[in-house]
Amino acid sequence: MTEPNQPNSPEARDAAQRALHQLATDSNDAVALGTLAASEVLVPVPENVESPDGEPGGIQLPVFEQSDGVRLVPVFTSEERLAVALPQIHSYRMVQLALLGQGWPADDLALSIDAGSPDTLTVQGRGVRALATLTGGG
């Protein structure tokens, strides 16, 4: 049996999705925020995006601009949720959510977790960076 805190395990994905569900009702739930920050998420890699030069293991964030001008980066807790929201995307990278927060590029860039699901959570730039501190990473 897979340990619940192992990356990629069904238990870890379920824990992240339970945390999202809890945050939908109580956005200040520290335990749920910590669980989410420690979770690995899928960062979509669009077909036409090349790997960043000179950055081994570097990630280029997929930025989408909505019709109202809001810029966001979608990430997902499972392949299923990624496929529903972005069926045209077939590649992704796994990254601990808190690690994304460590190098978040801008306050005006939002993070959308599980876009299109009932438990979608959108976090503004400052909040994304704060996620890194919840795991001792920032």
The answer to the question of residue 9 being in a domain is no
CATH code at position 60: 3.40.1350
The answer to the question of residue 69 being in a domain is yes
Q: How much is the pLDDT for 134?
A: 83
Range of the domain at 57: 41-133
Bridge partners (DSSP) listed for residue 40: 96
Q: How much is the pLDDT for 132?
A: 85
Cα-based angle 40, 18, 115 (whole degrees, multiple of 5): 65
The answer to the question of residue 32 being in a domain is no
Q: Give the count of domains, the chain.
A: 1
Q: Which of 123, 138, 100, 109 is nearest to 32 (CA)?
A: 123
The answer to the question of residue 125 being in a domain is yes
The answer to the question of residue 46 being in a domain is yes
The answer to the question of residue 90 being in a domain is yes
The answer to the question of residue 2 being in a domain is no
The answer to the question of residue 73 being in a domain is yes
Q: How much is the pLDDT for 40?
A: 94
Q: Which of 18, 23, 15 is nearest to 122 (CA)?
A: 23
Residues of the chain predicted below pLDDT 50: 1-6, 51-56, 137-138
Q: How much is the pLDDT for 60?
A: 83
DSSP class per residue in 103-133: T---TTEEEEESTTSTT-EEE-HHHHHHHHH
